[in-house]
Amino acid sequence: MSKENMLKGGEFLVKETLAQDIFTPEEFNEEQRMMAQSCREFTETQVVPQMDQLEKHDRKLLTQLLKEAGQLGLLGISIPEEYEGFGQNFVTSMLTTEEMGKGYSFAVAFAAHTGIGTLPILYYGNDAQKKKYIPKLASGEFIGAYCLTEAEAGSDANSGKSRAVSSADGSHYILNGVKIWITNGGVADLLIVFAKIDDDKNLSAFIVETATKGVTLGPDEEKMGIKGSSTVQIYFEDVVVPAENLLGERNGGFKIALNILNLGRIKLSGATVGAGKAVIGHAIGYANERKQFGTPISTFGAIRQKIAEMNIRNFASESLTYRASQNIDDASAALVAGGMDKGLAAVEAMRQYAIEAGIAKVYGSEVLDFIVDEGVQVYGGMGYSAETPVERAYRDSRINRIFEGTNEINRMVIVGELLKRAMKGELDLLTPAMAVAKELMGIPDFGSTTTDYFEAKKKQITNFKKAILMVAGAAVQTFTDKFAEEQEIMLHLADMIIFTYAAESMLLRIEKQNDNVSNEKAALMKDVADVYFYDAAALIHKHGADAVNAFATSDERQAMLMGMKRFTKADQVNTVAARRRIADKAIAEGKYIF
């Protein structure tokens, strides 16, 4: 994509995105598909058959699997070749994350190692640190973990109590503290640890080897799900950390933590897409085999509706995940072309698209929760049995709405980051918001109707965005600098934004692929869009009206509610027939069909 066409993070809300400028999953090349196949084969042959043993906290087996993944090159997909990786772009790493996402709780261990356990050093480490540790992490010789959370420092990470005291000669630090909920902690060789140095107000980050004296790994936590990943407390008692193991700048740890969490959020979305595809396949397979009243339950309308909706929502999640991933790749490439270091460019690209990463995390985790719940329901009583794959998927999914910042926190970040960028002048929300407010006061312009499918849908997207701008503009005007305290309104706004971004992402994907796929697939994609837009319009209207009723009164409220109704108007759709067509194809193929 040219630099001129590149939208900044959050600009999707006020500027049109062209279909030609997004990436769709249909565009993966042969090399990328081969890498995905390697991940798929590893997951199917090595991981899934051993999940029962992994869930017994078998640290030896978990270590073995991670090292085998390293030997196959799966841990080094996005590691530069100079550090013995494959040097692939972010979109490729997302595809491999998606495939590994089908590996239940092993996917958590894999993602923690390749993401938050490795990338802080790759992005923030100096040359010596990268040369010393990155090849070992890429090969699986070292397993990585990320130590941020403390008992009294969850969402407020910078309030952690861990301390690193500088030595008199400046040669080392003495680290003390306790970290909790550390993924991979029980099998890790290398830790990224956050602590405050002396009396600093902000965190710093350190590279700590677990073999260091004073590092103690606790027993594995007993969890609701993701039992096959190692989650422990880690204790640091007078641990001597060489000064050269300070990662990045002193006082810069909080910045590292936030930027790495942006990465973790969108990576989690990729994993949920893969997990969703796996569960859809299991549910359809069971529905085709299970008979009641002498016929497969996949012939029943109630089951077919579930199968269709699972496909529809996963399609939306997949579409927005790869759209945002390509944005990150494009921004990173542009920054490198401008002379920025590759690691810093990757970090800055993640920061630029923090809004989209938050959307992907929230939407992907909630879509997967819907899919696994419906998967259990398709299985019926058998779905409650630990013998079925959907039972494990159900348990494992729940953590995703808590991981990488709770979905509530992420919703606040989505809205808060948009407004912060507007205040800084990085994003012009005021001009379009004022235009919408003016439009409300005028005679409604219903415009000319169009018979072009994509133009009609784009008009709906434009109206969804007007609904968001109307509510956001009026709420900020009402509450001014106190708006951040109105969390319920922010939650409503966030959902309006999320549904709009999902709808636009799927539409752009369908438009781009309309002439490249079979007529049958193009028609099914349009069925997906028709159902999703119809439902999204109602959801956006509900969240918008709830937000308006929370602060507007009298004539202003009436005008805004009328505007909300106008902006969320949707064509009538026979959703039953559309879902039946989607379900027919999925049932025939026995899997997710896109």
Tell me which residue has tokens 């066409």: 5
The 3-state DSSP class for residue 262 equals: helix
Backbone phi and psi for residue 102, each to the nearest 5 degrees, phi listed first: -80, 0
**Out of 356, 404, 486, 511, which one is annotated catalytic?**
404
Tokens representing 81 are: 């070749």
Within 10 angstroms of residue 279's Cβ, the number of other Cβ atoms is: 27
CB 184 within 8 A of CB 230: yes
The one-letter amino acid code at 399 reads I
Is residue 98 among the annotated active site residues? Answer: no
Cα 454 from chain centroid?
27
Distance (Å, whole) CA 173 – CA 169: 10
Task: Calculate the alpha carbon distances from 551 to 414, 467, 489, 556 in Å.
Answer: 21, 15, 9, 10
CB 117 within 8 A of CB 188: yes
Distance (Å, whole) CA 166 – CA 196: 10
CB 54 within 8 A of CB 105: yes
**CB-side neighbour CA atoms (13 Å) of 404:** 30
Distance (Å, whole) CA 508 – CA 357: 18
Please, which residues have CB within 8 angstroms of residue 404's CB and are 6 or more apart in sequence? 261, 264, 265, 268, 361, 410
Sign of the dihedral through C-alpha 585, 37, 109, 390 = positive
Among candidates 154, 152, 199, 194, which has minimal Cα distance to 175?
194
CB 350 within 8 A of CB 262: yes
Within 10 angstroms of residue 344's Cβ, the number of other Cβ atoms is: 14
Task: Calculate the alpha carbon distances from 271 to 215, 282, 342 in Å.
Answer: 31, 17, 25
Distance (Å, whole) CA 548 – CA 557: 7
Q: Which helix (H) or strand (E) holds 238?
A: strand 231-242
Tokens representing 344 are: 């810093």
**Exposure b/e, 478-496, CB count within 10 A at least 16 = b:** beeeebeebeebbbbbbbb
Distance (Å, whole) CA 119 – CA 123: 6
**Exposure b/e, 136-175, CB count within 10 A at least 16 = b:** bbbbbebbbbbbbbbeebbeebeebebbbeeeeeeebbbb
Catalytic residues: 404
